[in-house]
Amino acid sequence: MFEELLDVDPADQSAMVERIAELERIKAAAAAGQARLTATLDAARRSAEAAAGIPVAKRARGLASEVALARRDSPARGGQHLGFAKALVHEMPHTLAALENGVLSEWRATIVVRESACLDVEDRRRLDSELCSDPDELLGVGDAALGAKAKAIAYRLDPRAVVERAAKAVAERTVTTRPAPDAMTYVTALLPVAQGVSVYAALKREADVCPDARSRGQVMADTLVERVTGRPADVPVPLMVNLVVSDQMLLGAEQGAAVIAGYGSVPSAVAQKMVMDTVTDERSRATLRRLYASPDSGALVAMDSRSRLFPKGLADFIELRDQRCRTPYCDAPIRHHDHAVPHSRGGATTAENGQGLCEACNYAKESPGWRVTAGTDENGTHTAEFITPTGAHNHSAAPPMPGTPKIPRSSAELYLNGELLRVIAA
């Protein structure tokens, strides 16, 4: 079927454009189908758990993560998919029909759902009917225009709800960071509109009066760093940053990727410069910590403890090994040091039974029907298997450490390396 959709005469450009449009309509219809199935699954799960005597507040607790795994998406996005599906199927039939017919894309349907979230069910249905009952009115409407229309209708239907939503949003102000290409990073601040505009205007004003040769964007970025840290942009800030790099990369004998904990991979040359800049700065308090890894798999040496909580050394080790939340498709920072097999069920406080998870994923795996098993494979790589209430298996492996050799090792080398690692671990 799919191959037939791609079977278009390359010389017929009109046919190719029409087939692109047809594929877009199919994507929208598939999104509507996913929404219907997701809402049905939610209802079935809640009904089954009600029959099992599970309290209302705990029903379907891990379902968003289960949906995320099925869609190969992050748990945070899984929660959005679940809420989107329930709103469409139970409260917004016209928006759902527009999605099924390809008049709205999944993202534009999401905009309508998002802007109506503050309304009660009856007002939400009125907005749905007024905005999406006539498909012709949606043709040619862009993302911003659609959002503006939805906001205007929502405010007319219930001004108080919209104002209260805006007031509540102030409490959700935050700052986040995520990797950007070329060893850069995005620092994003979610602020009330007045504060956000003021911050940008202050940076822009500084760029307007700066006389040097830097570009406007460079001046604004450097000013932001200086005003947040209290130091010039080219002066190091006294904060601890964990950088994992192989000895060969550090010495420049080989090239590859190093890892900055909480950020991700950077080229080894960039890591080497960071280290050299730090150790040559008399104000630096840089320290070196050795991590031992299997030469074939890059797996770190295991560590043991009998305590209920992971001691700091072992917790640091797990964070360096796992780097990000171990749930498949989740890129969130590690917040919890979790027992794969719970401590209450005899799970040991070890590196093998330990894993780094974000807060949401840790709570999700504690829901009824979830199981996680952990161990190491034949190469010494730490692995975890996440088994959902429906029996789906999802595999997770810890990333290899930087500088893992690609040259096969002899049996004698593997034996001697294993003995060395056992001695170190002891």
- Global pTM reads 0.71
* pLDDT tens for the 426 residues of the chain, in order: 667 778 888 888 999 999 999 999 999 999 999 999 999 999 999 999 999 999 998 999 999 999 999 999 999 999 999 999 999 999 999 999 999 999 999 999 999 999 999 999 999 999 999 999 999 999 999 999 999 999 999 999 999 998 888 888 888 999 988 888 877 889 999 998 889 989 999 999 998 888 888 999 999 999 998 898 887 777 666 666 677 777 667 767 677 777 777 667 778 787 777 777 776 666 666 666 656 555 555 555 444 444 556 677 788 888 888 888 999 999 888 989 899 988 878 888 888 899 999 988 988 888 888 999 998 887 778 999 999 999 999 999 988 877 655 555 666 665 666 565 555 444
Distances (CA, A) of 350 to 131, 313, 316, 424: 56, 11, 12, 15
